[in-house]
Structure 1
């Protein structure tokens, strides 16, 4: 299965799009996202379609700060049960550890971490926010939504971010720089290696007034008991091996098994225990790669077919029509804003 994100990430989306003069339903249809995603926050939607849709809304409706504006409509509660564990933590460091451990429940493609300051200051740490490029391509609007929400949550938990030194973004500004400094209340630097909030190390020891060890333990036990970290699944590693090699080497089970240092029959048994199989994963990877190349690049269709592991362009066309009910060219035009 392709990387997903909870529908809660679209909280406020419909109202904001309508306010900008757009039709939320039209955007959902263009990116094959079910309409119930706007009402069922626990439902899962493909993160690539989600992110491409945010970029398209910003472009088509002339709203370059769409991600930041959407972040203004959201809060910690979009994380569901994970929010309970975070709020009940004793310190900022504990809340970050919990969020880092279980963010896969919201989306396995996203991660946060506490890292050394990229500018080398010992009294400063970087609270990084990343999307795994193996799972989904980079999206400027989604990155601004995620980092903007990260900052809002931090302020809500601590009371203020007086120790915020700067905000780092990997892309160049989409809006006037003043818009960023107004939103984050700090200097914003662009073209950084990763998205991050650079904060004074002392903030990690800040204590929460609402700390409750019993509630945190119950919330953590629930998350651990009801959700499996994808990093522990064999299917995740098969998917990544196929993603890295499809289009360059034949997608043969025996070769993938060797890469994972398993006997082919052992690999088949492990996948069956996870309620999936090699061919099912292969078809998912082909679909995800084909749609990714169609919607995020201008590669010729023949090259897209080859890179996604199809025999020829005709096979790609038949597959895309089966998935989306449209030709590859039509899918490409729709996601780029064409009629």
Structure 2
């Protein structure tokens, strides 16, 4: 069982054990991959060991490149589920109903993963369970998202039974050239270039009892997890980064709304942040910038769509903000990151710098 709280910017290696199985199936030596990434193979002998979240992203990116398998993250995620989440997964398995199980995962996943954050929302009878990276500058985010949403799908299938199928699966990256493996695994409608990676399903499933749940064991697990939570160092900056990643997407990121979430006055929240050398508006800008870069790099969302996602009034306001953050415009930044993959209608695949600068918003 997990002995300590995972530090900021890291995660348990439990869900990554499937990497080795996939590599062997694709006839690639895991030792060579680990050497390329700078990881010791022995780290994976114990699922409770942790590695930097960014290293995990680089690992999956290298695996996809070396195996020539664009859906490597999906294959890895298919081999993980509740058991890969250790104590947190065990608590979900023994929660009284599916809604409680998923909320326990959302509330406590930071004890397992400190580079991304889950979110469960229910509106008009529809449940949306998503996963969002907040750690800045992570490579291989598309592979991470594919693996994470496959694990999430396995988790809900285990809790609900074989009859459960998502209505939709959302991906915050471009549509792959071949989606047969995605269709085969998820068995539902796939939507790419979305603002979040998530599973969409009827909220009635949340009321379904979890088969085999032990209420006594659930109580014991809750006590153990509470003890781990108490080890938290009161890092309000890290906490706000995790919270803001989801609140920005749902347009609930005002200082008043966030302070209300923690049942405190906004001045109290500001004082706690100032004590750690941060400001609320600075953190909002930092998280917005990270979301913007992820959407620009990994999706084909328009500037208008990204501006709306980040709660800007129009694309021009978003462009001005992005220029302040990066020194360039979002259109130019996207063209530099994906010069051959992001081509505006009517533009040559070998677009010149002048053509790029002539695009709207540059």
Shorter-chain TM-score bucket reads 0.5 to 0.7
Of the three residues 85, 88, 97, the one matched with 1:91 is: 97
2:10 to 4, 8, 14: 4
Counterpart in 2 of 1:255?
none
Tell me if 1:199 matches 2:209. no
Alignment of 1:173-192 (within 5 A): 173-174=175-176, 176-192=178-194
Deviation at 1:116, TM superposition (A): 4.4
1:74 to 49, 72, 80: 80
Aligned length: 248
| Structure 1 position 23, deviation (Å) | 2.2
Contact 2:15 2:84 in 1 (8 A): yes
Query: 2:271 is matched with which residue?
Result: 261
Secondary structure of 1:150's counterpart equals helix
**In structure 2, which of residues 195, 212, 225 is the aligned counterpart of residue 223 of structure 1?**
225
Offset, 1:25: 1.9
Q: Which runs of 5 or more structure 1 residues have no equivalent in the other structure?
A: 241-258, 269-295, 297-306, 308-339
Q: What CA distance in whole angstroms lies between the structure 2 residues aligned with 1:131 and 1:28?
A: 23
- Among candidates 17, 20, 26, match of residue 26 of structure 2: 20
- Secondary structure in 2 matching 1:89: coil
Specify the alignment match of 1:65 in structure 2: 71
For residue 165 of structure 1, what is the aligned residue in structure 2? 167
Preserved CA contact (<8 Å) 1:65 1:175: no
Gaps of 5+ in 2: 1-6, 243-268, 278-296, 298-325, 327-362
* Separation in structure 1 between the aligned mates of residue 223 and residue 78 of structure 2, nearest angstrom: 31
Equivalent in the alignment of 1:29: 35
TM-score by length of 1: 0.66
- Checking the alignment, whether the CA contact within 8 Å between 1:131 and 1:138 is kept in structure 2 is no
**CA deviation map 1:40-87 (0-9, x unaligned):** 211110111111110111122111121121122222111111122111
1:145 is displaced (CA, Å) by 0.5
SS at match of 1:232: coil
| Range with bigger deviation, 184-193 or 53-62 | 53-62
> What is residue 44 of structure 1 aligned with on the other side?
50
Contact between 2:97 and 2:209, CA under 8 Å: does it hold in 1? Answer: yes
**4+ residue runs over 3 A deviation:** 133-138, 227-232, 234-240, 259-264
Determine if contact 1:163/1:203 at 8 Å carries over to the other structure. no
TM-score by length of 2: 0.62
Q: CA deviation at 1:5?
A: 1.0
TM-aligned CA distance change 1:68 to 1:229, over 3 Å: farther
